[in-house]
Structures are given as C-alpha cells and as structure tokens.
Amino acid sequence: MNRLATRVIVLLLVALTATVIAGCGGSSATSSVRKVDAAKAVGMLDSRVVVDVRTPTEYAAGHIAGAQNIDVEASDFASRISSLDKKGAYLVYCRSGRRSAIAVDQMAAAGFTDIVDGGAMDALVAAGAKTQ
C-alpha cells in the first residue's frame, strides 16, 4: 500500500473513532432522575415544583400541599409537561409509586434535567408532608 492510501485510511479511522466517542457522550443536558425515600423527599418539598401524577379525582380527594396535578395516564400528559421549565427542579409522586416512576421516565425522555421520584403519597404524609 502506498503512503497516501495509508494516510487516508488512518484519517478515516481517526474520524470514525471521534464520531463514535462523541455519540456516546450524550448531550450536555443530561437528565438526573433520583428515587429518594419519603423522609428525604419531604425535606425537598419547599425547594421543588411538586407534581401529583394521579387522576384529578384522586387529587381532589387530597394532595400534598402546593402540588400541581398532571395525570400521567391522561392523553395530554406530554403536552402538559411540555409547558414546564425543563431545567426546573421537580418532585413527582402518586398513590403507590408506580405512576410516579412512569412519569419521571417520560419527563427524562422529554429533556427534564432534575427530577426526584418521591414515590407514594401515603409514605410522604407519614414522613410529615402537609396535605390539602
């Protein structure tokens, strides 16, 4: 093989390697999703936007004080979260923790960068969260 062909192959390999490495690095707005215990979540309530992802009927029956209701199982969940600040700090909860896990996954996929899964409302209340 001549020198020119060798140089071209080396340059192509370097470019390919750089492309692969850049693709694995992800974006600069990486998502941070954390699951915390109820006591820790209660300590975060005043510093985060609190989102109750239960149904409106469940929310009306009682919710964590100051929480906003965005039903994760509603057809408009994606459009409703799209109006939120993706760089904001959020704490998400539901009745048992199943729907909050689904919601934080969807929020992370939508580009939210700081999400805490607070889990079950009953555990939050038992840990001292105030309700409305």
For the stretch 36-84, pLDDT in tens is 999 999 999 999 999 999 999 999 999 999 999 999 999 999 999 999 9
DSSP assignments along 59-119, one per residue: HHT--BTTPEE--TTSTTHHHHHHTS-TTSEEEEEESSSHHHHHHHHHHHHTT--EEEEEE
Confidence check: pLDDT of 35 > 60: yes
Q: Where exactly are the structural domains of the chain?
A: 29-126
List active site positions. 94
pLDDT for 19 equals 44
Question: How far apart (Å, rounded) are the C-alpha atoms in residues 132 and 11?
Answer: 64
Tokens 């209660």 correspond to: 42
Q: Does the structure show a pLDDT above 80 at 131?
A: yes
* Residue with the two structure tokens 């093989």: 1
pLDDT band for 93, please (50, 70, 90 cuts).
very high
Q: How would you classify the pairing of strands 114-120 and 89-94?
A: parallel
Mean pLDDT of 11-34: 52
Q: Supply the pLDDT for residue 6.
A: 59
At 124 the pLDDT is 98
- Tell me the pairing of strands 89-94 and 49-52: parallel
- Report yes or no: 104 and 117 within 8 Å, Cβ to Cβ: yes
Which H/E stretch holds residue 67?
Answer: none
Q: Is 72 helix (H, G, I), strand (E, B) or coil?
A: coil
Which CATH fold topology does 29-126 show?
Oxidized Rhodanese; domain 1 (3.40.250)
- 83 forms beta bridges with none
Global model pTM greater than 0.85: no
pLDDT of residue 28: 39
pLDDT at 32: 85
